[in-house]
Structure 1
Amino acid sequence: EVGHLNIGAGRVVKQAYTRISDALSEGSLSDNDAIAAAFDHAAGTGGRVHFMGLVSDGGVHSDVEHLLALIDAAADAGVPATTHAFTDGRDTAPEIADGFLGDVTKRADERGTGHVATVTGRYHAMDRDENWERTKKAYDAIVEREAPHEADSAVAAAEEAHARGETDEFVEPTLVADEPGLDDGDAVVFFNFRADRARQLVRMLTDTRPAWAFDLDQPEVRLTTMTEYDETFEFPVAFPPQQPANTVGEVVSEAGLTQLRTAESEKYPHVTYFLNGGREVEFAGEMRTIVESPDVPTYDEEPAMSAEELTDEAVATIETDDPDLVVLNYANPDMVGHTGDFDAAVEAVEAVDEQLGRLLDAIADAGGHAVVTADHGNADDMGTPEDPHTAHTFNPVPVVYLTPDGDGGGTEIRDDGSLCDIAPTLLDLIGLDLPPEMTGESLLD
Structure 2
Amino acid sequence: MNIKNRLCLIVLDGWGIGKKNKGNAIYLAQPRVFNYFWRNYPKTALNASGEFVGLPLNQPGNSEAGHINLGAGRKVEDDAVLINQNIKNKNFFHNEILKQGTRYAMQHHSKVHLMGLVTEENSAHSSPLHWLAILDFLKKEGVKKVYLHLFTDGRDSSQHGAIEILRRFSQIWAKKLDGSSSGLEIFIASICGRFYAMDRTKNWKRTEKTYNLLTQGEGRRAETPEEAILRAYNRGETDEFIKPTVIERGEKPIATISDNDLVIFMNLRSDRARQLTKVFVQEEFEKKNPGSFKRKKKLNNLMFLTLTNFGPDLDDIKTVFSRPNVKNSLPLVLGREVSQLYIAETEKYAHVTFFFSGGYDYPLAGEKRIRIDSPVVDSYAETPAMATPEVVSRLIKESKTSKPNFILVNLCNPDMLGHTGNLEATVDGIKVVDNYLGKLVNHLKEKYIVLVTADHGNAEEMINLETGETITTHTKNLVPFILIKDKEQIKVRKNGILADVAPTILELMGIPKPKEMTGKSLLE
TM-score normalised by structure 1 residue count? 0.95
Report % sequence identity: 35
Distance 1:98 1:278 in 2: 36
Distance 1:114 1:429 in 2: 56
Q: 1:266: which partner in 2? A: 347
**How well do the aligned residues superpose, as a CA RMSD in angstroms?**
1.5
Which aligned pairs between 1:91-102 and structure 2 lie closer than 5 A? 91-102=156-167
Q: Is the counterpart of residue 114 in structure 1 residue 186 in structure 2?
A: yes
Q: Is the counterpart of residue 434 in structure 1 residue 497 in structure 2?
A: no
Alignment counterpart, residue 18 of structure 1, candidates 81, 87, 90: 81
Structure 1 contact 104–115 (Cα < 8 Å) conserved: no
Superposed displacement of residue 68, structure 1: 1.5
Which aligned pairs between 1:191-230 and structure 2 lie closer than 5 A? 191-209=266-284, 210=286, 211=289, 212-220=292-300, 221-230=302-311
Partner SS for 1:59: coil
Partner SS for 2:500: helix
Distance 2:188 2:378 in 1: 27
List structure 1 runs of 4+ shifted beyond 6 angstroms: none
Distance 2:490 2:415 in 1: 29
Q: 2:146: which partner in 1? A: 81
Q: 1:378: which partner in 2? A: 458
Which aligned pairs between 1:27-426 and structure 2 lie closer than 5 A? 27-57=90-120, 58-79=122-143, 80-107=145-172, 109=174, 110=179, 111=182, 112-150=184-222, 152-178=223-249, 179-209=254-284, 210=286, 211=289, 212-220=292-300, 221-233=302-314, 234-253=316-335, 256-365=337-446, 367-383=447-463, 386-405=468-487, 409-426=488-505
Structure 2 contact 207–276 (Cα < 8 Å) conserved: yes
Name the stretch that deviates more: 275-284 or 335-344: 275-284
Superposed displacement of residue 177, structure 1: 2.5
Letter matched to residue 200 of structure 2: R
Distance 1:114 1:133 in 2: 30
Letter matched to residue 227 of structure 1: T
Structure 1 contact 190–224 (Cα < 8 Å) conserved: yes
Distance 1:74 1:415 in 2: 48
Structure 2 contact 450–485 (Cα < 8 Å) conserved: yes
Superposed displacement of residue 319, structure 1: 1.4
Partner SS for 1:425: helix
Partner SS for 1:114: strand
Distance 1:94 1:312 in 2: 35
Q: Deviation per CA, 1:279-325, whole angstroms, max 9, x where unpaired?
A: 21303331111110011111000000010110011011111222111
Partner SS for 1:93: coil
Q: Deviation per CA, 1:235-273, whole angstroms, max 9, x where unpaired?
A: 11001122210001110115x111110000100000000
Distance 1:338 1:444 in 2: 34
Superposed displacement of residue 107, structure 1: 4.9
Superposed displacement of residue 176, structure 1: 1.7
Letter matched to residue 434 of structure 2: D
Higher-RCO chain (CA-CA 8 Å, sequence separation at least 6): 2
Q: Where does the alignment leave 5 or more consecutive residues of structure 2 unmatched?
A: 1-63
Superposed displacement of residue 103, structure 1: 3.3
Superposed displacement of residue 165, structure 1: 1.4
Letter matched to residue 157 of structure 1: A
Structure 1 contact 105–115 (Cα < 8 Å) conserved: no
Distance 1:117 1:69 in 2: 20
Name the stretch that deviates more: 211-220 or 389-398: 211-220
Superposed displacement of residue 163, structure 1: 2.5
Structure 1 contact 118–142 (Cα < 8 Å) conserved: yes
Superposed displacement of residue 108, structure 1: 5.0
Partner SS for 2:307: strand
Structure 2 contact 281–317 (Cα < 8 Å) conserved: no
Structure 1 contact 84–118 (Cα < 8 Å) conserved: yes
Superposed displacement of residue 384, structure 1: 5.9
Q: Where does the alignment leave 5 or more consecutive residues of structure 1 unmatched?
A: none
Name the stretch that deviates more: 69-78 or 271-280: 69-78
Superposed displacement of residue 411, structure 1: 1.7
Superposed displacement of residue 208, structure 1: 2.7
Q: Deviation per CA, 1:14-56, whole angstroms, max 9, x where unpaired?
A: 1101011111212222211111111111111111211111111
Between Structure 1 and Structure 2, how many residues are aligned?
439
Distance 1:27 1:113 in 2: 23
Partner SS for 2:107: helix
**Residues 1:165 and 1:393: Cα distance change in structure 2 (over 3 Å):** same
Superposed displacement of residue 401, structure 1: 0.6
Name the stretch that deviates more: 204-213 or 67-76: 204-213
Structure 1 contact 87–97 (Cα < 8 Å) conserved: yes
Distance 1:137 1:148 in 2: 11
Structure 2 contact 264–306 (Cα < 8 Å) conserved: yes
**Residues 1:108 and 1:214: Cα distance change in structure 2 (over 3 Å):** farther
Structure 2 contact 331–365 (Cα < 8 Å) conserved: no
